[in-house]
Amino acid sequence: MAKKIYLASPHMSDEGYEMEYIKEAFDTNWISPLGKNITEFENEMVAQVGSKAAAALTTGTGAIHLALRSVGVGQGDVVFCPSLTFSATANPIIYQNGTPVFIDSDYETWNMCPKALEKAFIKYPKVKAVIVVHLYGLSADMDKIVGICNKHNVPLIEDAAESLGTYYKGKHTGTFGNYGVFSFNGNKIITTSGGGMLVSDNEEKIAKVRFWATQSRDSARHYQHSELGFNYRMSNVVAGIGRGQLKVLEQRVEKKKYIFDFYKRELGGLEGIRFMPSNEWNEPNYWLSCITVSGDVKPLDIMEALEKENIESRPIWKPLHMQPFFQEYDFIGEGVSEELFENGVCLPSDTKMSDVDLQRICYIIKGLWK
């Protein structure tokens, strides 16, 4: 069997930074959701993205959940959310008994379409919050999205789970809205095995999120609770992995861009292939290299040809308004996300790939056009 190539797999630093921080946690016996690595990881994320405060949590999904709580989403509240995203963006709306309304993408960004968002505001003027996603490390058109949210005075949460290292006009994604969410799950650009971070410029709100995330314990000797609590705090061991990974984020972005450029050079000339959109204002982290195809070669042909050679790839996210679980909820749009789903492929984007691996992948794909 040929060597397995992954879509995106964990890539620890060559220098072993992660192990040093883990060892420190072991040596000091801080093996809990408390300790220096957590505080320092939060500080380092704040410095990395340029927000004022951060709370380290067990998952990105948990970070979205607590952001929604923080803006007061409750029973029956409408939340706008892109349709073209991972289900983890929308599930926390349901945890809060809210009502998602799905918004279409545009071709310019693949992300939330500002025109569809405007339309949604006309239909649902009482919306409680907006979640925008920066898919595959491409930034949404934040000037327009922020402008619309400000005009209607509605809080904005950025799901930047896939966009650590992505900038919009020089400012880090996740710092435009009231809250930004990052994920360190196994296939993200950096990983802690599992983890999340909620960032904001509102330090008080972040302090409150830390309180909720550690079971909402009031300051009393006995266990006293005046609010619903959650067990969402990141552990000190996991935070150590994060600190080590953050040191190589820039290297990872560089390699991801190299992979994208490689594909573009090798495959760009094939009839009907289009690469995910580039914009002047967008500095993506190129988390995944994605294409759409139109013509005789279908996405499934590409995925199957790669699979035969032990190479992973996958479709673009299936829009949430097409998912059985979310079918009852409204969708505002004109079929862009459906079209991207039907024609899209995420190509292998593992940062451990060599040029030989990349050549092999391109050779297989080009073979389909002959």
Ligand X SMILES: *Cc1c(COP(=O)(O)O)cnc(C)c1O
Instruction: Determine the angle formed by the axes of helices 36-49 and 236-246, rounding to 10 degrees.
Output: 30
171-172, strands of its sheet edge to edge = 171-172, 167-168, 282-283
Q: Are 199 and 180 in contact (CB under 8 A)?
A: yes
CA 140/CA 144 separation, integer angstroms: 9
C-alpha 331/C-alpha 335 separation (Å) is 10
- By the rule CB under 6 A, 61 interacts with ligand X: yes
Task: Give the bridge partners for 314, in sequence order.
Answer: 346
Q: Report helix, strand and coil shares of the chain as percent, to nearest 5.
A: 40, 20, 40
Least CB distance to ligand X at residue 366 (A):
30
Candidate list 10, 60, 98, 344; residue touching ligand X; CB under 6 A:
60
162 scored as a contact of ligand X (CB under 6 A): yes
- Tell me: does residue 140 bind ligand X (CB under 6 A): no
37 binds ligand X (CB under 6 A): no
Q: Does 98 bind ligand X (CB under 6 A)?
A: no
* CA distances to 35, 248, 267, 300 from 111, in Å: 37, 27, 24, 23
Would you count residue 165 as binding ligand X (CB under 6 A)?
no
Of the residues 8, 71, 79, 161, which one makes contact with ligand X according to CB under 6 A: 161
Question: Does 196 interact with ligand X (rule: CB under 6 A)?
Answer: yes
Nearer to ligand X, 13 or 58 (CB): 58
Among 133, 146, 288, 347, binds ligand X (CB under 6 A): 133
Judged by beta carbon, residue 88 or residue 93, the one nearer ligand X is: 88
Q: Is 88 in the site for ligand X (CB under 6 A)?
A: yes
Encoded tokens for 265: 């050079």
> CB of 30: closest distance to ligand X in angstroms?
23
In the set 37, 48, 83, 85, which binds ligand X (CB under 6 A)?
85
CA 48: distance to chain centroid?
Answer: 16
The CA angle 343-137-100, to the nearest 5 degrees, is 75
Residue 63 · residue 95 · CB < 8 Å? no
Q: Which of 106, 158, 159, 283 binds ligand X (CB under 6 A)?
A: 159
* 89 lies in the binding site for ligand X (CB under 6 A): yes
Outline where DSSP puts E strands in 45-137. 53-57, 78-82, 99-103, 129-133
Binding mask 218-257 for ligand X (x = CB under 6 A): ----------------------------------------
Task: Provide the 8-state DSSP code for 112.
Answer: B
Helix axes 36-49, 17-27, angle to 10 degrees: 150
User: Count of residues binding ligand X (CB under 6 A)?
Assistant: 14
Of 101, 93, 88, nearest in space to 75 by CA:
93
Check residue 183 for interaction with ligand X (CB under 6 A). yes
Least Cα distance to 173 among 287, 321, 316, 337 occurs for 287
Residue nearest to ligand X (CB): 60
Does 158 bind ligand X (CB under 6 A)? Our answer is no
CB of 110 to ligand X, least distance (A): 12
Instruction: Tell me the two tokens of residue 256.
Output: 């991801």
273-332: contacts with ligand X (CB under 6 A): none
Q: Which stretch binds ligand X (CB under 6 A): 57-65, 243-251, 269-277, 318-326?
A: 57-65
Residue with smaller CB distance to ligand X, 60 or 240: 60
Residues that bind ligand X (CB under 6 A): 59-61, 85-86, 88-89, 133, 159, 161-162, 183, 185, 196
